Amino acid sequence: MAADKNRQDRRQFLGGGVRTVGAMALAGFSGFLAGQSGKAEETIWQIDPDVCTTCGNCATYCVLDESAVKAVQCFDLCAMCDPCPGYFDLGHRERTTAAENQLCPTGAVLRTFIAEQAGVPRFEYYIEEKDCIGCGKCVEGCAMMNGSLYLQVRHDRCVNCNQCAIAVACPSQAFRRVPASQPYLMKKKALAATQRRGSS
Amino acid sequence: MRRQLRILSGLALLLLLVAGAGAQELLSRPEIEGHATPTAEFPEPRSASLEYTDVAVLAVALGLSVYLALVRRSRRGLFLLAIGSLAYFGFYRQGCVCAIGSIQNVVLALSDSSYGVSLAILAFFALPLVATLFFGRTFCAAVCPLGAIQELFALRPVRVPAWLDQALGLAPYVYLGAAVVYAATGTAFIICEYDPFVAFFRLSGSANMLILGACFLVIGLFIGRPYCRYLCPYGALLKPLSRLSRWHVRIPPEECINCRLCEDACPYGAIHPPTVKQSDADRKAARTRLVLLLALSPVMVAAAGWAGRGLGVPLSRLHPESQLAERVRLEETGQVEGTTDASDAFYSTGRPRQELYAAALALHERFSVAGMLLGGWVALVIAVKLIHTNLRRQRTEYSAEKGNCVSCGRCFWYCPAEQVRLGLIENVDVVVKRPPAEEGKS
Ligand code: SF4
Ligand code: SF4
Ligand code: SF4
Ligand code: SF4
Ligand code: SF4
């Protein structure tokens, strides 16, 4: 009986020791990591538009039924081309706004007439975000001209999966984790165009 | 054919248009009087302060779970808390980030100095571990959303044969090892990629993952918590910590009267009967086995590590760079026709092939080291498991095995002593008719 009791005590003591060491190790480890990356912000996913090849996976691989990726227009870079290859399916002869002439499968690229210059009508091209499915067709079309359209993860929709499902499927490895305070990435030339306007 | 024609005509039109501007130069934006250039809107991500709300909810839920499991001993309370956790961490927060996935964030932060893990994720990683070290797996009982959804589905649990349970129980350690390798190499977070339940939490996701999740839930009807027991890599961390725990749920509120009523109460096979006294011969044999195992295990680990080196190439297949190099190589040597999106993307960057191949070779090297460690790790886990089963233990009562018990509290109610505590019955003799001989013994 006494031997049993002794063994019990020994076990308890040993357990206590291991536990203390374990707790200290855990605290130390967490402390070390916190110290090392304490300044680290939460990261979120974003597409580097200079790397993206508009493969179309963004529309289908997002865990959300309606992808969190949408096309974005950089108005400063858009040259209001006539016709806009991001708006029109250039394979069609006509240039009317009939759905079959539009490149966007959901009609999410909208245009508003601004003015006519030397016989050339100028439109501003917008993305109607609620209709955009992030397929990148307009981005691909626009790339023939200035490339002012580009794809971005929209953070009002993205649920910030710890592993973005599109990032795994992206053939060009265009997805990156970016700090939450700088949630969007711009094309280099879009950035330049915006800065030009800012300075002028 | 028609399509090609259309594209050609389109291109011709474009060429005319671009001719003036030159192929690479940008067209300038026309100045239009009275028209200001609009700016695109960029919606902000979820505010960072909400992250700390999550941590606060986690801490409160953990505290509640400990209180309900150890102090109140309330199965109903735990059940309600599990539903609450499922609602918050599962359906409201949609499953990200969770303690299980946070392992990978921590590992990536350790291996890649440019990645820092945020304090909130660190808290998700560390708080449940600390709680488990002191109070057992109370996190699993009612806080983890994955545990909670399985808990709700454990309706007709059958007993898994011990040998199978033990063998399958090794899988979480292998999964943990693989997840660490892929997180450390920056390949992918596979725990998140193959999380079977997150598709339910979001009520969307790829069809494959939804089917996988449904399979887990259906299996979970009969085999309690299949993910927790046979896959969860965080559970693999919690198990040994729980074994060390100072305060752990007990089936009887006080003393066990060995009535056997709780024997089959645990849907997760965590209740162990008292040990029978070993004969001297058995004890000797066990001791010899133990010595042998202790001597052999370093050899096992070394051998498995050596063999693991060969895993370098297969392991690296999951890395996108390695995949790409393989594809480009095949295309270069003419073994495959055509290109893929990935190889097209690669060619369009103008990056030299040799550079890609060199990067892939470096990756193979890294993964060989990782494979070695992984092999050693798996052997170590097996060795420890074998040693553990050969250790002499003495149990005088029916008890919840601390490692596997998730502190769910289902077994409490089966114990007559508990029913006395609850005032449901006067004393245990109402339920248990102890034969006089037994009474004499105790
Ligand atoms: S073409 Fe695709 S990416 Fe562009 S606006 Fe339409 S749906 Fe969005
Ligand atoms: S992180 Fe998730 S929600 Fe966001 S874009 Fe990627 S898959 Fe979609
Ligand atoms: S998956 Fe990658 S390459 Fe394809 S559209 Fe999305 S970001 Fe671009
Ligand atoms: S074992 Fe894993 S999945 Fe199950 S409750 Fe615990 S942490 Fe959650
Ligand atoms: S509390 Fe009881 S029923 Fe629940 S896991 Fe532990 S031993 Fe099994």
Q: What is the pLDDT of residues B321-333, one digit of tens each?
A: 999 999 999 999 9
Cis omega (within 30 of 0) on the bond before B45? no
Residues of B in contact with A153 (CB under 8 A): none
CA dist A179 and A39 (Å) reads: 11
Q: What share of chain B is helix, strand, coil (3-state, %, to 5)?
A: 65, 0, 35
On the question of pLDDT at A2 being above 90, the answer is no
String of DSSP letters for A96-107: S--GGGBSSTT-
A193 contacts in chain B (CB < 8 Å): 26, 29
Q: What is the pLDDT of residue B9?
A: 53
Please say if the pLDDT value at position B162 is more than 50.
Answer: yes
Distance B7 CA to ligand 1 centre (A): 19
Interval between CA A172 and ligand 2 midpoint (Å)? 16
Could you tell me what percent of chain B has a pLDDT over 70? 92
Whether the predicted pLDDT of B225 surpasses 50: yes
Where is average pLDDT lowest: A136-150, B158-172, B212-226, B249-263? B249-263
**CA–CA separation, A188 vs B149, rounded Å?**
46
A182 in a structural domain: yes
Token pair in block for residue B344: 């097209």
Q: Find out whether the beta carbon of B124 lies less than 6 Å from any atom of ligand 4.
A: no
Cβ–Cβ gap B30/A162 under 8 Å: no
Q: Is B6 helix (H, G, I), strand (E, B) or coil?
A: helix
**Would you say residue B4 has pLDDT above 60?**
no
Q: How far is A38 from chain B (nearest CA, A)?
A: 7
User: Which domain, by its residues, includes A77?
Assistant: 43-199
Q: Do A162 and B7 touch (CB under 8 A)?
A: no
pLDDT of residue A13: 73
Interface test with B, best of A24, A33, A62 (most B CBs within 10 A): A33
Question: How high is the ipTM of this complex?
Answer: 0.86
Specify burial of residue B316 (Cβ count, 10 A radius: 0-12, 13-18, 19+): buried
- Checking if the pLDDT of A141 tops 90, the result is yes
Q: Does some domain include residue A133?
A: yes
User: Which among A33, A155, A180 has CB closest to B106?
Assistant: A33
CA distances from B293 to B66, B288, B341 (A): 37, 9, 52
What confidence category does residue B279 fall into, taking pLDDT thresholds of 50, 70 and 90?
Answer: confident
Tell me if B37 and A197 make a contact (CB, 8 A cut-off).
yes
Q: Say if the Cβ atoms of A159 and B39 lie within 8 Å.
A: no
Residue B109 near residue B186, CB atoms below 8 Å: no
B212 three-state secondary structure: helix
Query: Span B406-427, mean pLDDT?
Result: 90
User: What is the full DSSP assignment across A26-61?
Assistant: HHHHHHHHHHHHTTPPPEEEEE-TTT----SHHHHH
> Most B CBs within 10 Å: which of A135, A162, A187, A196, as the mutation test of the B interface?
A162
Judge: B122–A172 Cβ closer than 8 Å, yes or no: no
Mean pLDDT of B273-298: 88
Question: What's the pLDDT at A39?
Answer: 61
- Which residue ranges have their beta carbon within 6 Å of ligand 5? B 249, 265-266, 268, 270-271, 400, 405-411
More confident residue, B321 or A7: B321
- When divided into structural domains, chain A yields a total of 1
Query: Is residue A154 included in any domain, yes or no?
Result: yes
Whole-number average pLDDT of chain B: 88
User: Between B89 and B46, whose confidence is greater?
Assistant: B89
| Separation of CA A32 and ligand 5 centre (Å) | 35
Q: Where are the domains of chain B?
A: 2-18+52-250, 280-388
Which atom belonging to ligand 1 lies closest to the Cα atom of A107? Answer: 6
| Residue A10 resides in a domain | no
pLDDT category at B31 given cuts 50, 70, 90 is confident
Residues of A in contact with B213 (CB under 8 A): none
Q: Is residue A179 part of a domain?
A: yes
Chain B's closest residue to A40, CA to CA, is: B116
Q: Is the CB of A51 under 6 A from ligand 2?
A: no
Residue A71 CA: nearest ligand 1 atom is 3
Are the Cβ atoms of A26 and B48 closer than 8 angstroms? no
**Contact between residue B374 and residue B177 where contact means Cβ atoms under 8 Å apart:** yes
* Confidence tier at A4 by pLDDT (50, 70, 90): low
Q: Out of A48, A50, A57, give the residue to mutate to test ligand 3, the one with the largest number of ligand atoms within 8 Å of its CB.
A: A57
Q: Whose CA is nearest to atom 3 of ligand 5?
A: B266
Give the pLDDT band of residue B435 (cuts 50, 70, 90).
Answer: low
Higher-confidence residue of B441 and B311: namely: B311
Residue B11 in this model has a pLDDT that exceeds 70 = no
> Confidence band (pLDDT; 50, 70, 90) for B81?
very high
Once rounded to an integer, what is the mean pLDDT over residues B353-377?
A: 95
Tell me whether residue A15 is in a domain.
Answer: no
A192 CA from centroid of ligand 1 (Å): 24
The amino acid sitting at A158 is C
Distance, CA of B46 to CA of B129 (rounded, Å): 27
Under the banding of pLDDT at 50, 70 and 90, the label for residue B17 is: very low
Distance B14 CA to ligand 3 centre (A): 25
What's the pLDDT score for residue A200? 62
Closest CA to B84 of B100, B64, B113: B64
Whether residue B120 has its Cβ less than 6 Å from ligand 4: no
Closest chain A C-alpha to B423 CA, distance in angstroms:
32
Across the interface, whether the CB atoms of B26 and A79 are under 8 A apart is answered yes
**Interval between CA A21 and ligand 3 midpoint (Å):** 48
Q: Determine the average pLDDT of the residues in B65-70.
A: 96
pLDDT at B16: 46
For residue A28, give the chain B residue with the closest CA. B126
Q: What is the pLDDT of residue B60?
A: 97
Mean pLDDT of the A73-102 span: 84
For the stretch A8-19, pLDDT in tens is: 677 677 777 888
Query: Which residue's CA lies nearest to atom 2 of ligand 3?
Result: A170
- Residue A106: the pLDDT is 93
B7 pLDDT band, cuts 50/70/90, is low
Q: CB B341 to CB A80 under 8 A? A: no
